[in-house]
Amino acid sequence: MTGAEVTTPPDASQRASVLTAHVRRRRVVGLVVLLVVLALVVLASIAFGARTIPPVDAWHAVFGAGGGADAEIVRSLRVPRTVLGLVVGLALGLAGALIQGYTRNPLADPGLLGLNSGAAFMAVLAINVFGLGTPSGYVWFALAGSAIAGVAVFAVAALGTRSGTASPLSLALAGAAVTFLLQALTNALVLTDTATLDTYRFWVVGSAAGRGLDVFWDVLPFLAIGVVIALFAGRGLNALSLGEDVARALGVKVGLAKGAGLLAVVLLSGAATAACGPIAFVGLVVPHIARAITGPDQRWLLPYSGLLGAVLLVAADTAGRLIARPGEVQVGITLAICGAPVFIALVRRRKLVTS
């Protein structure tokens, strides 16, 4: 063929390289967009509520240049509430992605391990026995309860298997058993004392209101350790998704990977529950939204889930203040109202896929 330029199509490796670069670029852009959305949500949380404060005045109040009643509201009430909402949403999003990855159950959430029930039981015990009626007083008891419940679930699940390691099914069954037991004990304590019931009923709905920065500093070390472990767990989770035998062939220490990841779940979910009470649906719904953007790669799914969890919780907390002014709807209720239809849709979609 003289006078004609012969072109050869790119080979498979070149096409794969171009596709990989495109996917990576899309994921990075998505993270940047999420960070911008998170900044806007934080600003809205500080500016809007029972009393609307102009964003410029809120900005000045945060950085110490403003004064007066508005500045006091921002510094003493809204900043601690927003900061706590950020870290709790981040923790619940990461914990949800981790527990779904390790149990290979897309409908799992951190409550599967009985962490919420453990925190509730120990919080009620602290209120009933020691008279600790403030969040900063019983936060340590709630955190200890989450840790104890998590260890109990893992121990019971491991005892029920021949290999001595917890399988997804045994974890679910052990989690249900421990949850029912702790709920029964909690109800027994609550029903015997009216004062305990009054304090407990405000904690159990899940809220970031009424918590100061002292609660944030109490749970921060546990959240920080959990976040670090979670962000390093992505590679091991990717291998485990192919099966334990394949993961071992790829050089992954399966027992260590599972133990570290589930430790991160206990730290993240336990600290979040101790700080704000049991908040449902964040750990369940957020990983599905993140997976629709990032695909199954856990190295990207985990940070996306954390940021989406922070955005969702802070946005829901702000919405709860706006829809019932001058009162408010607690964030646990707001998320339950919004999350229940999403959960039903997820269950429905999985039925359609498997049928």
pLDDT in tens, 187-245: 888 888 888 888 888 878 888 888 888 889 988 998 999 999 998 888 888 888 777 78
> pLDDT band at 90, cuts 50/70/90?
very high
- Please give the model's pTM, rounded to 2 decimal places: 0.86
**Distance, CA of 239 to CA of 252 (rounded, Å):** 7
Query: Backbone phi, then psi, for 243, in 5-degree steps?
Result: 115, 150
**Distance, CA of 71 to CA of 261 (rounded, Å):** 41
Q: Are 314 and 34 in contact (CB under 8 A)?
A: no
Mean pLDDT of the chain: 83
- 322 Cβ contact list (under 8 Å, min separation 6): 48, 49
Token couple for 53: 């404060």
Is residue 170 in some structural domain?
A: yes
Token couple for 24: 């990576």
Is residue 142 in some structural domain?
A: yes
Is residue 292 in some structural domain?
A: yes
Is residue 144 in some structural domain?
A: yes
User: Which domain does 207 fall in, by range?
Assistant: 89-348
* Token pair 């922070």: residue: 310
H runs (alpha helix) in 11-68: 12-47, 55-62
Q: Which of 5-9, 31-35, 112-116, 163-167 has the lowest mean pLDDT?
A: 5-9
Q: Are 91 and 227 in contact (CB under 8 A)?
A: yes
Burial of 125 (0-12, 13-18, 19+ CB in 10 A): buried
> pLDDT band at 8, cuts 50/70/90?
very low
Is residue 224 in some structural domain?
A: yes
Q: Are 283 and 99 in contact (CB under 8 A)?
A: yes
> pLDDT band at 38, cuts 50/70/90?
very high
Q: Widest CA span of the chain, in angstroms?
A: 97
Token couple for 118: 């453990």
pLDDT tens across 136-183, in order? Answer: 778 888 888 888 998 888 888 877 566 656 677 788 888 889 999 999
The pLDDT > 70 percentage for the chain reads: 89
Amino acid of residue 256: L
> pLDDT band at 352, cuts 50/70/90?
very low
pLDDT at position 68 is 78
- Across 48-57, 121-130, 219-228, the highest mean pLDDT is recorded for 219-228
- CATH number of the CATH domain containing 242: 1.10.3470.10
C-alpha distance from residue 167 to each of 9, 102, 107, 154, 170 (Å): 47, 9, 16, 10, 5
Is residue 319 in some structural domain?
A: yes
Q: Are 60 and 277 in contact (CB under 8 A)?
A: no
pLDDT at position 243 is 78
**Distance, CA of 113 to CA of 154 (rounded, Å):** 8
Query: Cα angle vertex 172, ends 101, 301, to 5°?
Result: 15
pLDDT at position 355 is 37
Question: What is the separation, in whole angstroms, between the first and last Cα of the chain?
Answer: 55
Is residue 65 in some structural domain?
A: no
**pLDDT surpassing 70 at residue 303:** yes
> pLDDT band at 45, cuts 50/70/90?
very high
**Distance, CA of 19 to CA of 24 (rounded, Å):** 9
Number of C-beta neighbours around residue 145 at 10 A: 29
**Distance, CA of 270 to CA of 264 (rounded, Å):** 10
Number of domains, the chain: 1
**Distance, CA of 156 to CA of 177 (rounded, Å):** 9
- The stretch 112-120 carries a mean pLDDT of 85
Short-list 179, 148, 165, 158, CA closest to 274: 148
- The stretch 287-293 carries a mean pLDDT of 88
**pLDDT surpassing 50 at residue 6:** no
pLDDT at position 157 is 83
Is residue 223 in some structural domain?
A: yes
Omega before 326 cis (within 30°)? yes
